[in-house]
Amino acid sequence: MTEPILEVRDLEVRYGPSQALFGVSLSATPASVLCVLGANGAGKSTLARAVSGLVPPSAGTIRFEGRDITGKPSHRIRKLGLTYIPEGRGVFPDLSVIDNLRMAVGQEKRGERPAAIDRAIEIFPVLGSRRHQRAGSLSGGEQQMLALARALAASPRLIIADEMSLGLAPLVTESVFQGLDAARKSGITVVLIEQFVHRALSLADACVILMRGRVGWSGPAAEAGREVLERYLGEGEHSAAPVG
Ligand code: ATP
């Protein structure tokens, strides 16, 4: 069996007196898409923040490519190749598109930077035609593409994409999903936190559903059928999440 690239065991996270995650375990295999679903407040972003070193776990372990990264600072984890794209766009609005990409590849070897930028633009050609435009003046969807292009340009091994489709029109969401699919095809593992449940499941290989800070269900994405979604996500009449 393939070794997981990411392995989370018995993870607990607290914010002061309140606990957000309780004994969460999951794993992702290399070059796969793992989608993390859950109602508002279920703990999806907390999981992403803990894995990427932005909040310290109070218990449990996180291993990335076999290495224990539990409690390591976020810049170290990013350097190892695990990139988190937070909810709400990680771009510098006052810089041009191309300068945003140049900043993203700052850690790469000098000679490899132009090729890394070209690869990112290849996935989202619209960024190429807008390379000198200020990022803040791009549409919401284009800014998400730039956020994803920035993450991909930095040669990650795994990206965590947190609700990238939030507030985007379906057509633009589709471009973002296609970018994630291209990333997976190039060997990058994707952890996808999503509100567009069905679209996320159609891209994903595996799925974890969080319920009030615990894993309610996990398994192959193909097995997350209507019954599972209704039972663990409350999808249907009291769904908090739009059906994509
Ligand atoms: P959403 O889909 O609404 O973004 P989520 O599944 O990502 O929700 P989290 O943002 O991880 O959920 O929140 C999980 C729980 O932790 C919630 O009860 C939330 O109120 C709480 N929480 C999140 N961030 C903090 C914080 N900085 N301080 C205190 N409590 C927090």
pLDDT in tens, 26-55: 999 999 999 999 988 999 999 999 999 999
pLDDT value of position 15: 96
Final residue before a domain boundary, out of 127, 155, 183? 155
pLDDT of residue 195 exceeding 80:
no
pLDDT of residue 189 exceeding 90:
yes
Q: Whose CA is nearest to atom 31 of ligand 1?
A: 15
Q: How many domains does the chain have?
A: 2
Cβ 21 vs Cβ 47: under 8 Å: yes
Residues 29 and 122 in one domain: no
Q: Is the CB of 43 under 6 A from ligand 1?
A: yes
pLDDT value of position 241: 47
Using a cut of 0.85, tell me whether the model's pTM lies above it: yes
Query: Distance, CA 43 to ligand 1 centroid (Å)?
Result: 6
pLDDT value of position 22: 98
Query: Distance, CA 114 to ligand 1 centroid (Å)?
Result: 38
pLDDT value of position 235: 61
Cβ 146 vs Cβ 100: under 8 Å: yes
Query: Distance, CA 215 to ligand 1 centroid (Å)?
Result: 15
Residues 239 and 138 in one domain: no
Q: Which of 86-90, 118-122, 153-157, 216-220 bottoms out in mean pLDDT, i.e. has the lowest? A: 86-90
Residue 86 covered by a domain: no
Backbone φ and ψ for 88, nearest 5 degrees, come out as 85, 45
pLDDT of residue 12 exceeding 70:
yes
Contacts of 47 (CB under 8 A, 6+ apart): 8, 11, 13, 21, 24, 36, 210
Residue 169 covered by a domain: yes
Q: Is the CB of 40 under 6 A from ligand 1?
A: yes
pLDDT of residue 243 exceeding 60:
no
Q: Whose CA is nearest to atom 30 of ligand 1?
A: 15
Give Dmax over CA atoms of the chain in angstroms.
55
pLDDT of residue 199 exceeding 60:
yes
Q: Is the CB of 179 under 6 A from ligand 1?
A: no
- Tell me how far apart the alpha carbons of residues 30 and 64 are, in angstroms, rounded to a whole number: 11
Q: Is the CB of 38 under 6 A from ligand 1?
A: yes
pLDDT value of position 236: 52
Q: Is the CB of 42 under 6 A from ligand 1?
A: yes
Three-state DSSP class for 61?
A: strand
78's tokens: 């990013």
Q: What is the mean pLDDT of residues 209-215?
A: 95
Residues 123 and 237 in one domain: no
Residue 100 covered by a domain: yes
Which numbered atom of ligand 1 lies nearest the CA of 47? Answer: 11
pLDDT of residue 2 exceeding 60:
yes
By residue range, what is the domain housing residue 57?
1-81+157-244
Q: Sheet containing 189-193: give its strands across.
A: 82-85, 158-162, 189-193, 33-38, 206-211, 214-220
